[in-house]
Every structure is written in C-alpha cells, then in structure tokens.
Amino acid sequence: MKYRIGVDVGGTFTDLMVLDAETGEVHALKTPTTPADPSEGLLAGIAEAKERLGFEPGEVGFILHGTTIATNAVLERKLPEGALIANRGFADVLEIGRHVRREPYTLKPTPQTVLVPRDRRYGVEGRMRWDGSEEAPLDEKAVAGIAREISEAGVGAVAVAFLHAYRDPAHERRVEEILIEAAPGIPVSLSSDVSPEIREFERASTTVLNALLVPVVNDYLARLEARLREAGLSARLYLVQSNGGVTTPSQAARLPVRLLLSGPSGGAMAAADLSGTLGRPDLVAVDMGGTSFDVSVVRDGESTVVTEGEIDGLPVRLPMVEMRTIGAGGGSIASVAPGGALSVGPASAGADPGPAAYGRGGAEPTVTDANIVLGRLDPDFFLGGALKLDAGLARAAVAERVAGPLGLGVEEAAEGILAVVNAHMASAIKLSLFEKGADPRDFAIAAFGGAGGLHAVSLAEELEMAEVVFPRDPGTFSARGILTADIAHDVARSRLLDAEEGALPVLAQLAAELAGEGHALLAADRIAEDARQIRLAADMRYRGQAYELLVPWGDVRPGKRSLARLVADFHDLHQARYAHSDPAAPVEIVTLRATARGLLPKPAIAPPAAVDAGPKGERRVWIGGGWRDVPVYDRDRLPEAIEGPAIVEEAHATLLVPPGWRVAMASGGHLVARRAGEGA
C-alpha cells in the first residue's frame, strides 16, 4: 500500500507525517487536538491529508499512533474504581511504598499516592517462596468470596500482585480463573504478565496502573477503530509504547501501562535516527511543544532506556525511553506573584482557549505571546498561515499581567518571560546530563517541536554548547520518529545470580526462554522470521547495592567471553554514571531482559530538493535589548549557509538564529547551527 501515516497526539496539536512509499516524499500536517476524544482530531488530520494529497483510504497501509490517552487518564484521575488482591499482610503495599524522602528537611512529608482505596485492597492466604516453591496453598474459597464482593460493588478493574509471582505465577493464574468465573466482564491484570520482576511495591504499582487503564484504553481503541472503519481505512494500526517501539491494538489493550510515554518516545526515536544521519553520536533531544518540554539523551547513537520511571509519583517498572518532562511550552502561562516574582509555567493555556493571541478568550500571557511581542513569531504565518494570531491581544496580555506589575516596558517584560522559561529548560537539560556524568559541552542540541527552534540557541549559549541541530520538519518531528518505528516487545526474568562462570547454564536457559517468548509474540504479530531481532540486556549491581544499572548485552548467546564483556561494560557504566567503580568487587545479575523487535518495512524517505534563494523579506525583531531589522528566510528556499541574526520560517516552526551564529545545510535537509568562526 502506498501511504504510511505517523500520528503524534499532543496537548495542543495533533501532528501527522504522511509518507508516500513510492516517491519517498513526506508531508507534514498539524490539526488542533480534541481533548474530549483525541480520535476525532486524528481522523480530522487524516481527512485533511487525504484532501490535500489526493489519496484514497484503501491506499493507506500503516497508521502508527502515539497517544497521551493513558498519561492523561492518570494525571487527571479519570480512572475507574479498582481493586487489588495481594497476599495476606501485603495488601497495604501501595500505601507503605518505599522510604524515599524527596524533601528530607520538610516536617510534613508528601503522602504516597494511592489509586486503590483501603476497602478495595484484599489480602488472601497463600504464598510462594523466592525460589518459586509453594509456602502455603491459595485460599480459593476466600478468593471466590472476594470475587462476589467485587462484582456486587461495581468495581471496574482488578489487579493481582502476589509475592514472588515472577518466579511462579500459579497462584495469580488461579485467582484470574476464579475472578473470570465469578465476576465475568471485569478486566483482570496479573503482575506476572505486566511486570514479572522483583520488588513487590513497584510491581504492584505498575499492575494497578495497568488494570485501571484497561477500560480507558479499550474504550478509546474501540472508538478509534470504529472511526477508522467508517472512514474506509483498513490500514494496520499500531500504538507507540514507552520503549520506543510500537505494538498492536490487542497488545495495547492488554498492557496499556506500556503506553504511558507513548507520545514523547517518538521524538527520542527520531533523534536517534538523526544521530546516525548526521554522524553525531551524542545529542540532547529537546521537544518544546505547546504544553511541555521533553528532554531525552542520545549517547553513542542510541536513546537512553531505563527500567523504571514514574508518573505523578506512581512507580512504573517497565523498560522506557528515559525522559525528563517539565511544564514549559509555547502555551506556558507567565504570572507575577504578589512579591514581584515572575514565574512561567507549569500551567498552560493549552489548545483551548490557548495563548491570548489566539483570540479565543485567553487573557493570560504565554511564551507564544512573548515571542509575538518580540517579533520572533509572525502572527500572519502561524501554522503556515492556517491560524491567524492577534499581535495586539498578545501585547495587551503581556502589558497588563507582567509589564505593569513589574514596572517594565512591554518588550523588557516579554524578554523576561523568555529568560525565565529558558532557565527552566536549561536546568532540565543539565539534570538529564549531569546525572549521567556527562558534560553538556560534549553534546549538540537537537531542537524540535513547534516552539523549540525559537529557544534552542539561547539554551546552547547558556550551557556553553557549540552546536544546535534543527531537524527537517521540526514541528512534526516526533511524528516522523513514529513513522519509522518497529514493533517492540520487552520480556524479562528476575533471577539473582552472581555474574560469574558458574551462572552460565542458568543464564543460557533464561536467554533461551526469553528468546522463545519474544519469537512467539512476534509470530502473533505476523512478523516473518527474517524480520525479527532479539537483543539481551541485564540489570546489574555490585553485591549489597539496592539499585541496578541496565547493561546492554546485544545479540549474544551467554558464554564465558561474552559474560566477561558484560561485567566489564557494567564497571564502565557505573564509573560513567556514579564517578566510581570497583572491578574487584563481586557483581550480581538481578534481571535478564530481552527486547524482541519486529522490523516493519522501511520505505526510503527522499531528501528535499535544494533551492538556493535569498531572504523573502525582513522583520523587526527584538534581540539583545533592542529592535533590529532581521532577514527572514523560507526554509524550503534557504541558501547553503546564513549568518545570524536571521529568522528561518516553515509551516509548523520558526527558527531564531541570533548574532554570532551561522547555520548551514546538512544531509537529509537538516540544519546545523554553530558559533561563527568555529568551523561552521
């Protein structure tokens, strides 16, 4: 089939990238997100693409969809009432949590977030030991009684999390059978399916999140698939996961917790691909959209993956692209506190009413309004002219809410808004690199999202970084990453082993089990054997540590030499992450992991045709404390290199090149900015 569509549903806009597989041409589109039902905005975008490009629904072969439906449901607490069944004495694990004090000096510690109330957490007799043997049989009569109570109470989902179920899930499986028989129709999530790993609190938290998301995601997928059918689209639909791969709707419906970082991971995938295209192995990918600012790190050409994260204080123990997100986007609201302190974000004007300049009733100044006041955004060319902005409303909002209270001129106030939001974003980048023992000066920024190009060089200057990459189609760059994604399944086996030769037989057995499970999942996805890829990794630590590092092992069969290499890699990674290592200390393997990838067809994306032309005009822009006449270029008609100050415009993004910087065209239509005189 001729067309492939990548979709990234954001908080403000839904981004689409449409690839013509025959010609290699890609087409970018944006349409307003419809928060009440994101599938409406998605179908509206596809309908617009169909009208613009002239294709028929039957010509679309793949739709790859990044969604925030799971994330928003958790953040907004739009979840059904749930229940948890655990071992007797462990039903309160969600409330006890871990002894982690985020603010060690506060007298009032933040209470643990709990999604299941106390009267819906049940403990039953029965116990598995750490080695998978049975300590005490399951009290099936008690489980049947709980099932009847759950059914009568109208509970919408059930999570089952027993101790050591990752070694033997027999008790969890039996509970599921009883629940299905006594309370049919209520979805059940087992920890041995969702997160078959050690650490009962994190495993229980992840399982509860999955259970509560099953009705939400299933309902969304049902509406989406119905709308696709009504539109005559028979394309294969895939959902983007937190691990940077995609999965089928049936898998997403069963394990929706894996969609929690669905949208942002698309940008990380695209940044890793960009790293290889430009030959720059170390990038900081920054995605600044309308609501948030997402930071991910590409090292040695690959996005950083972690095995545990959190959402709104709730632990999630699953492989995911490492991402730091703060509330800093084009719609972030600026305000002045009674004491005179200027703050920007995390509150956002979103898509409705949006910034003041949208003219939809928003009266609070935003980052977008500040950029309009300073001439950096053309109000007549926003979204390529599809949405006309009102510069007068932007100026009035900044004047009334910021300039007046602070006793500043409007331009100085707008400049202050940008300085504050830039400081927040620079801090997020620093944290993302410093915690890995990395120096920002060794990295280049890859800036994308609708607002990223206006702030990227300022961030580079603050962090003493010498290079900024502006990828092709930056406003829809995450959708571009989604467009070229592969199917990915993560499977794991927790087994505490010494990382030495005596453990090789067990490691070989575990690796074989993981490979078999991965191949079975890919076979269910109809992926041919020659398009499958299985790669191992291990969670490792020094003996006595309470935390692990994820160490890639690659496409290997465990052997003496490969194990020695794995241990050496662990020491190197520990040194890089924590600035110390001890090669003489014993090392443990806690969990062995495998990522099974199904390689989807990859039509070649054609580079844009180079058209060398001069500026299309000039605009007065406030830079460095004063107004300057700055040339404005069309990105599709850009000379081979330009000197700042300059503005580069395209339909879905605007790039600001300040004085002292030079921008040159690189391979694939991407742009690279360097400080003038440093080999640009």
Question: How far is 594 from 528, CA to CA, in rounded Å?
Answer: 18
What is the three-class DSSP state of 54? Answer: coil
Q: How far is CA 531 from CA 150, 252, 307, in A?
A: 44, 21, 25
CATH of the domain at 25: 3.30.420.40
Task: Establish if 302 belongs to a structural domain.
Answer: no
Confirm if 419 and 374 have CB atoms less than 8 A apart. Answer: no
Task: Establish if 582 belongs to a structural domain.
Answer: yes
Domain final residue pick, 577, 598, 619: 598
Domain final residue pick, 535, 564, 598: 598
Query: Would you state the pLDDT for residue 156?
Result: 93
Chain centroid to CA 92: how far? 30
CA dihedral 534, 536, 537, 542 (to 10 degrees): 170
Question: How far is 362 from 396, CA to CA, in rounded Å?
Answer: 11
Question: How far is 442 from 52, CA to CA, in rounded Å?
Answer: 42
Confirm if 49 and 329 have CB atoms less than 8 A apart. Answer: no
Confirm if 260 and 311 have CB atoms less than 8 A apart. Answer: yes
Which strand ranges, in their side-by-side order, compose the sheet holding 617-623? 617-623, 626-634, 646-650, 653-657
Residue position matching structure tokens 């607002």: 451
Confirm if 436 and 549 have CB atoms less than 8 A apart. Answer: no
Which strand ranges, in their side-by-side order, compose the sheet holding 188-190? 121-124, 82-87, 157-161, 188-190
- Residue 657 in tokens: 């090149």
Query: Would you state the pLDDT for residue 109?
Result: 73
Task: Establish if 320 belongs to a structural domain.
Answer: no
Whether residue 128 sits in one domain with residue 33: no
The whole model's pTM is what? Answer: 0.86
Question: How far is 77 from 212, CA to CA, in rounded Å?
Answer: 10
- Residue 507 in tokens: 């490691």
Confirm if 42 and 217 have CB atoms less than 8 A apart. Answer: no
Whether residue 205 sits in one domain with residue 85: yes
What is the three-class DSSP state of 639? Answer: coil
Question: How far is 369 from 366, CA to CA, in rounded Å?
Answer: 5
Query: Would you state the pLDDT for residue 610?
Result: 66
Confirm if 452 and 474 have CB atoms less than 8 A apart. Answer: yes
Question: How far is 59 from 51, CA to CA, in rounded Å?
Answer: 13
Whether residue 242 sits in one domain with residue 194: no
Task: Establish if 445 belongs to a structural domain.
Answer: no
Query: Would you state the pLDDT for residue 677?
Result: 61
Q: Which of 128, 120, 119 is nearest to 191 (CA)?
A: 128
Task: Establish if 544 belongs to a structural domain.
Answer: yes
Domain final residue pick, 564, 598, 632: 598
Judging by beta carbons within 10 Å of its beta carbon (0-12, 13-18, 19+), is residue 35 exposed, middle or buried? middle
Query: Would you state the pLDDT for residue 672?
Result: 93
Mean pLDDT for each 10-residue chunk of the chain (680 residues)? 87 86 87 86 92 90 90 86 95 86 77 89 94 94 94 93 95 96 92 93 95 95 94 93 92 94 84 90 90 88 86 87 86 90 86 86 92 93 85 94 93 95 94 88 92 93 93 89 91 94 94 95 92 95 92 90 94 90 95 94 74 84 92 88 90 91 88 73
Task: Establish if 427 belongs to a structural domain.
Answer: no
Whether residue 359 sits in one domain with residue 338: yes
Q: How far is CA 198 from CA 162, 169, 318, in A?
A: 11, 13, 12
Whether residue 127 sits in one domain with residue 44: no
Confirm if 624 and 659 have CB atoms less than 8 A apart. Answer: yes
Task: Establish if 355 belongs to a structural domain.
Answer: yes
Q: Which of 238, 222, 224 is nearest to 5 (CA)?
A: 238
Whether residue 82 sits in one domain with residue 66: no
Query: What is the Cα Rg of the chain in Å?
Result: 26
Whether residue 90 sits in one domain with residue 201: yes
Number of domains in the chain: 4
- H-type alpha helices, 248-354: 249-254, 262-278
- Residue 147 in tokens: 């099932």
Residue type, 165: A
Q: How far apart are the first and last CA of the chain?
A: 42
Whether residue 62 sits in one domain with residue 168: no
Chain centroid to CA 9: how far? 12
What is the three-class DSSP state of 658? Answer: coil
Whether residue 385 sits in one domain with residue 507: no
Whether residue 27 sits in one domain with residue 135: no
What residue numbers bound the domain in which 185 lies? 78-217
Q: Counting every residue, how long is the chain? A: 680
Task: Establish if 631 belongs to a structural domain.
Answer: no
**Rounded (to 5) percent helix, strand, coil in the chain:** 35, 30, 35
- Residue 600 in tokens: 């989807």
| Three-class HEC string of 533-569 | EEEEEEEEEECCCCCCEEEEEECCCCCHHHHHHHHHH
Question: How far is 579 from 572, CA to CA, in rounded Å?
Answer: 10
Whether residue 70 sits in one domain with residue 109: no
DSSP 8-state code for residue 357: G
Confirm if 39 and 220 have CB atoms less than 8 A apart. Answer: yes
Whether residue 198 sits in one domain with residue 104: yes
CATH of the domain at 502: 3.30.1490
Strands (E), 398-499: 444-448, 467-470, 487-498
